[in-house]
Amino acid sequence: MPDHEDRNKRHFILDGVTEREPFSRPSTPFKKVRVPERDRRRHGTALLNQVELLAPHLRAACEAQEAAGLREGFGLQVEFESFPDIELAFESLARERQGIELLNVRHEEPRTLATLFVPDGKLRHFEKLIRDYLEEKTDRRGFLRDHKSLIDTINQIRAASLRALWTDDKELFPANDDESFWWEVWLPVRKDRTATVDTFRYLALAQGLRLSPEQLEFPERTVLLAYTSAGQLKRSMMTLNCIAELRRAKETADFFDSLHPEEQRAWLDDLMERARFAGSEQPVPYVCLLDTGVNNGHPLLASSLANQDLHTVDPAWGTNDNQGHGTAMAGLALAGNLADALDSNDLLEIEHRLESVKLLPHDGANDGDAHHHGWLTMEAVARPEITAPCRPRVFGMAVTATDNRDRGRPSAWSAAVDRIASDADGNGNTPRLVVTSAGNIDKPDAWADYPASNSTDGVHDPGQAWNALTVGAYTELTNITEADADGYQPIASAGGLSPFSTTSCTWQPQWPLKPDVVFEGGNAARDALGPACMHSLSLLTTFHIPNQRLFTTTNATSAATALAARMAAQLMAAYPELWPETIRAL
């Protein structure tokens, strides 16, 4: 390949070429869906009977709440179901002034379901709507005020069950009432966020639920974790009345095991002689890795990662890397694919440094631990900012959930990442550049279906965060050099999307297009028996136990994320005056 180094020029920085204009919402053509005519008398009477049947449930709920010592918040959760293939006019159901709150909306083809909290004494609001419908009410000018457009979309009204609060993938709802696991509990804010949370904690603890001490706060919801079973939740109507949504808490992705490349100490010695590292006293940018910790005793990392820049979310976890993923990311974030650096005689100029925050405990996941990933991430970001608040830094997080069930829909974790990046808590005064991975296709059977699997496997939580730079993987690695690999061929062609990379192709159009960028993530190979990973199709990086060996291989969107964070730091070093948003754009 010809050397184009002489063509590398600095970017033009254009000043004074913008002007401020008021925002105007783009016009969107409104496609009105025709709602079939109902038999007004039969339909209205049926709905009115269903509302009247709710009264005993409401009385029982209020009596139970009063017996538990509660003084406010009495009411009942009610579920509204649409007719098939008819969109429920759910916005028209809520009445903020009367305390009637829309808790969640679920689309279960071909129906739409909405769950509302109806305060004590407010069932009559719905009775009045239906009576107006039955009587074909008009105003003084003779115009119809019969709420027909709303009532004709409603098929059923009933007291909400536990399943009515489940907004996660319906296949994940527990089949066994006795199965205990960590639930994401989404609480409404209502008039007083603190009072709502305190009431839920009081009722849940009295019922024997195990609760996380931390919580995530969003404008309309508070999210915490509860370790319980469906059966235990069903036994307390009072506890359910505090809840807006329930989801299954996420587990973090299983990371690739370290491989065993046959490298020698002389490679590193030669590289160290050619490397120039930025000193801790210099005002350089930092890549802050939110991962499994980093072992900075590795000779390549020691010069760029000081002990005081090793942090952890939980002091009990320590800052060291037992699993190896964080140290592998550190090598890539500092020096890129080490195979390229070792194979070169050029000077390696490194103009950024590293920070590490241990986001995960020693086993690489927090399954069974009462910590929420969103809360953990916010805490992880805070640690280095408290220690060194004025440093320019890019946050690199190659940690995702194990599944892609959100399909672009915001989650508690992705919403937390969005808040971090936009500095929502600081009114946007100090926005951050957060680089996160898209998540991996880690099943060899799916690699065999390449490239279709890239389209069918969706980006993992929290990669759907709008404000984060989500990184997928492509590959240029196609040369298989293993002696025992006869018959194997690379799955992806040079320049193609990596077999490991997920995308947002299956998401609905209102969600973001992800990944935002792709970096080298390695390739896989296959023969007549099926796909396999290969050392020669992976990236070389630092091993977390350097007294055993110095190098290991890694791949997929984690590796790509570390490389993207490295490029961001290089841009920050070259253009220190640019905002994080501009670096993200570049």
333 in a structural domain: yes
255 in a structural domain: no
Residue type, 166: W
Instruction: Please report, for residues 232, 472, 525, the alpha-carbon distance to residue 446 in angstroms, rounded to integers and kept in the order given.
Output: 38, 16, 12
pLDDT for the residue numbered 356: 98
Give the model confidence (pLDDT) of 338-352 as tens digits.
Answer: 988 888 888 999 999
The SS3 assignment for 437 reads: strand
pLDDT band at 364 (very low <50, low <70, confident <90, very high): very low
pLDDT for the residue numbered 30: 54
Give the model confidence (pLDDT) of 193-228 as tens digits.
Answer: 999 999 999 889 988 998 888 788 888 899 988 989
69 Cβ contact list (under 8 Å, min separation 6): none
pLDDT band at 366 (very low <50, low <70, confident <90, very high): very low
Can you give the CATH number for the domain in which 235 is found? 3.30.70.80
Alpha-carbon dihedral of residues 377, 383, 385, 387, nearest 10 degrees? -170
Do 452 and 530 have their domain in common?
Answer: yes
Mean pLDDT of 520-548: 93
Domain closes at, from 139, 160, 181: 160
The SS3 assignment for 231 reads: helix
23 in a structural domain: no
Helix, strand, coil in percent for the chain, rounding step 5:
30, 20, 45
Do 82 and 225 have their domain in common?
Answer: no
The SS3 assignment for 445 reads: helix
Mean pLDDT of 30-38: 72
538 in a structural domain: yes
d(CA 400, CA 440): 9
Express as a percent the part of the chain with pLDDT over 90.
60
Do 220 and 362 have their domain in common?
Answer: no
The SS3 assignment for 83 reads: coil
11 in a structural domain: no
287 close to 566: Cβ distance less than 8 angstroms:
yes
30 in a structural domain: no
Do 244 and 269 have their domain in common?
Answer: no
- For the chain, what is the domain count? 3
Mean pLDDT of 485-501: 93
- Ramachandran assignment for 32, one of left (phi > 0), alpha (psi -120 to 50 degrees), beta (any other): beta
pLDDT band at 28 (very low <50, low <70, confident <90, very high): low
d(CA 332, CA 326): 10
Residue position matching structure tokens 């919402």: 25
Strand partners, 473: 519
The SS3 assignment for 183 reads: strand
- Ramachandran assignment for 334, one of left (phi > 0), alpha (psi -120 to 50 degrees), beta (any other): alpha
Is the pTM for the entire model greater than 0.75? yes
d(CA 509, CA 514): 12
pLDDT band at 294 (very low <50, low <70, confident <90, very high): very high
Do 355 and 216 have their domain in common?
Answer: no
Backbone dihedral angles phi then psi of residue 255, each to the nearest 5 degrees: -90, 155
Residue type, 326: G
565 close to 287: Cβ distance less than 8 angstroms:
yes
* Mean predicted lDDT score pLDDT of the chain: 88
Domain closes at, from 160, 187, 222: 160
Of 381, 73, 47, which is closest to residue 197 (Cα–Cα)?
73
Give the model confidence (pLDDT) of 106-129 as tens digits.
Answer: 988 888 999 999 988 899 999 999
Do 176 and 49 have their domain in common?
Answer: no
pLDDT for the residue numbered 368: 41
Domain closes at, from 248, 283, 300: 248
Residue position matching structure tokens 């709602």: 35
Do 410 and 272 have their domain in common?
Answer: yes
Does 321 score more than 90 pLDDT? yes
Can you give the CATH number for the domain in which 509 is found? 3.40.50.200
Containing structural domain, residue 199 = 170-248
99 Cβ contact list (under 8 Å, min separation 6): 75, 117, 119, 122, 190
Give the model confidence (pLDDT) of 145-192 as tens digits.
Answer: 888 889 998 999 999 989 999 998 888 899 999 999 889 999 999 888
CA angle 470-474-477, nearest 5°? 145
pLDDT for the residue numbered 235: 84
Tokens of 326: 């964080």
541 in a structural domain: yes
d(CA 165, CA 181): 16
pLDDT for the residue numbered 257: 30
pLDDT top residue among 119 and 422: 422
243 in a structural domain: yes
Do 437 and 559 have their domain in common?
Answer: yes
311 close to 384: Cβ distance less than 8 angstroms:
yes
Mean pLDDT of 537-563: 94
Do 242 and 387 have their domain in common?
Answer: no
Do 322 and 219 have their domain in common?
Answer: no
Do 130 and 187 have their domain in common?
Answer: no
Do 499 and 536 have their domain in common?
Answer: yes
pLDDT for the residue numbered 75: 84
